[in-house]
Amino acid sequence: MASQVRKPRYGDKLEVDIERLDERGRARGRGRDESGEYDVSVRFALPGSRVRVLVLTRRRHRIEGIVSELLAPSPHSVVARCAHFGACGGCSFQDFDYARQLDEKRRIAAEILTGAGLVPRDQEELVEACIGCDEPWRYRNKMDFTFGTRRWIEVGEPPDAPNGFALGLHPREQFKKVLDVRSCPIQFERGDALLNSVRRIAFELGLPAWNLATHEGFLRHVVLREARASGEILVDLVTSSESHDLIAPLVAALLSSHPEITTLVQNINTRAASIAVGEREIVWHGPGVIRERLAGLDFTVSANSFFQTNTAQAEKLVALVLEEAACAPSDVVFDVYCGAGTFSLPLAQRAREVVGFELVESAVRDAERNAAANGVANVRFVAGDVVESLHGSDLPRPDVLVIDPPRAGLHPKVVTTLAACEPRRIVYVSCNLRSGARDIAGLGIAGWRVTRARPIDLFPHTPHLECVLTLEKQ
């Protein structure tokens, strides 16, 4: 009896042709040996390249591995702009031609929607080309940097390089260490100098950084925001305690070095969770907010406000939502998960009435302030649980639903409640197309079908994908 051919196992190597990227940003390709052909998943490889992969795990004909050698580069590879690329976890595809990034994102959107049965495979043209950034660099108006006590040593540094105090971003797949970021080509241009000053001053003052392992220390995050329309800058120092004596010298030195700072706040986060949001906020300088303009409307943005981080693409996103909503002057629009009113206020300029629903009360307060500042009177906002709010007795029946849920998508009860509203049209803005497809499948039970899908890239050089989906009742 002939012996069975051994299949790949841990430590084996396999040559793989990389064909595509998946929604998580992993490279996928086919590898073959004498035992058969395998679907291989690796990080840090580009479509069109050929790589040698070290096998980590195999389940049937699926292999997870890491690239051990680049055998042939992708014809779509470019030189990355960032000195930290390869180590930093912030960007995945700076070395991938931007036009090809958009092609991959459109293909991924089509793959998810057809795989979920929401778009027939013979009607993939319903998924349009991904709308890209006119300038895919320096596009972020907000960056959240982390302090740490364990600095990531980059390739090329001497083995005895300082490995303590750090301020920057996490290395790829390393959440207990911090990579000292000196320059970030996707954040707003003035952010680099601000970041380096915060690091230098904090280090000179001997302020203790937050230890991500023991949950001790003082400095946790610095969040930098710039309003593109006004040029105003907000600096948010997130600390573990108020500690006036510790923070005051840092604030004074930073304002002295950077008079361009419009407002500076301190957020106190006493929890173990590593998030740049505090339970209390102290305004040290300026009004505590900056002024931005979007879709012809003025918005105030605070340290903890949600506001689209790519202002130029947010303009395009709002235009897409307005176009797909196609409001008539007599329409009532429900904006579900409305945030600070980014969609609600432009919609109100076209509809008879807009009702915004939002769980986060601070976001509702921001939305109400923004409506008042712009003189928009035909909009109201409802704070609280969305299902309970949608059952309000004083609500009109909506003609159009705009839904912009968090990444986790909608609770099944919300799907059922929204379907029962029986609007003329639904516009679903998805920041996670996998959960979006699940929600739309739930709406499909009530007869709703996708008639158009329009991907838009709000985060160049990353796997993240936004998609505006239009649904009609069939």
Structure tokens at 71: 């055998």
Q: Is 91 one of the annotated active-site residues of the chain?
A: no
- 425 contact partners, CB below 8 Å, separation of at least 6: 324, 325, 326, 399, 400, 401, 470, 471, 472
Number of other residues whose CB lies within 10 A of the CB of residue 250: 23
* Residue of 88, 184, 431, 467 marked active site: 431
Q: Which amino acid is at 214?
A: T
Number of neighbours of residue 205 by Cβ within 10 angstroms:
13
- Nearest of 244, 362, 238 to residue 305 by alpha carbon: 362
Name the amino acid, one letter, at 258.
H
CA end-to-end span of the chain, whole Å? 60
Strand 62-72 versus strand 13-21 pairing type: unpaired
For residues 381 and 354, the answer to whether their CB atoms sit within 8 Å is no
Rounded to 5 degrees, what angle do the CA atoms 271, 274, 279 make?
Answer: 40
Sheet holding 233-239, edge to edge: 179-180, 166-169, 142-148, 219-226, 233-239, 263-268, 280-285
Angstrom distance (rounded) from CA 210 to CA 190 = 25
- List, as one string, the DSSP characters of 125-158: GGBPPPBPPSS-SS-BSEEEEEEESSBPPPTTS-
Distance of CA 107 to the CA centre of its chain: 19
**Interhelix angle 433-444/412-420, nearest 10 degrees:** 50
Q: What's the rounded Cα separation, in Å, for the pair 96 and 47?
A: 9
Do 289 and 118 meet the contact criterion of CB atoms below 8 Å apart? Answer: no
**Token representation of residue 170:** 């996490």
Q: What DSSP assignment string belongs to 41-80?
A: EESS--TT-EEEEEEEEEETTEEEEEEEEEEE--TTB---
Q: Which of 267, 266, 243 is nearest to 254 (CA)?
A: 266
Pairing of strands 425-430, 400-403: parallel
Separation of alpha carbons 364 and 356, rounded Å: 9
356: helix, strand or coil: strand
Which residues are annotated as catalytic?
Answer: 431
